[in-house]
Amino acid sequence: MKDQIRTAITILKNGGTLIYPTETVYGLGADALSEEAVRKVYSIKIRDLSQPLSLAVSSFEMLHEVAYVDSAYVGILKELLPGPVTVLLRKKAIVPDILTAGSDLVGIRFPDNEVALSIIKEAGPITSTSANVSGKNPPTCVEEVAEEVANKADITINGGRCKYSMPSTVVVVSREAKEIKILREGAEYDRVLHVLQGKAAGRKLHGIFMS
């Protein structure tokens, strides 16, 4: 596994792609800060460029490099991450527009998976999107990755079946509207909702909304 991880890091640094395990589903990774590498991910997934991709980080320091974090919400992030949650934050200029489909917001994952974290720590932020053809079911183990995807990626790392085996819960925090929105119910939804309700009450926000 260590040799595979080292190989994966080298591939990513050279603009390549990999299929990697997370605690939610298997992801299709590439250098998230390289427009050329991100285009490869769109091509492999047969995904329309109007549909944004998320990125994955391995630390809060790396998160701050790619997105703006209001000090009022640092506590929320530290309770939710690392874990099976995608948080939408305002992106920094370092993040290419192609990744976010031109949006000012970027979806960020901080996975709770040792293999993924080991790779990201050395390679930098990578794309966080399920290793499937767009619109198909996300794979929860290597055996579920479609051949048309696996054959196009430069390397596949088998980390066993994913812990939650379902997509992440997606959350957006809007400072202007003073509200927290859960855009998608996914893994550990109940825990996420509990954390957000507690923070909303403590800061007298308007509450929790399902978008």
Closest CA to 6 of 126, 125, 122, 160: 122
What's the domain count of the chain? 1
**Whole-number pLDDT of residue 198:** 80
**Whole-number pLDDT of residue 204:** 46
**Whole-number pLDDT of residue 196:** 87
**Whole-number pLDDT of residue 197:** 84
Task: Give the domain range for residue 105.
Answer: 2-210
Exposed / middle / buried, residue 155 (Cβ in 10 Å: 0-12, 13-18, 19+): middle
The CATH number linked to 90 is 3.90.870.10
Distances (CA, A) of 46 to 25, 59, 71, 173, 181: 18, 30, 38, 30, 29
How would you write the pLDDT of the chain (211 residues) with one tens digit per residue? 999 999 999 999 999 999 999 999 999 999 999 999 999 999 999 999 999 999 999 999 999 999 999 888 888 899 999 999 999 999 999 999 999 999 999 999 999 999 999 999 999 999 999 999 999 999 999 999 999 999 999 999 999 999 999 999 999 976 654 567 899 999 999 999 999 888 766 554 444 554 4
State the virtual CA torsion across 117, 118, 123, 124 in degrees, nearest 10: 30
Q: Which residues contact 201 (CB under 8 A, 6 or more apart)?
A: none
Tell me the per-residue pLDDT of 79-117, one tens digit each, with 9 for 90 and over.
999 999 999 999 999 999 999 999 999 999 999 999 999
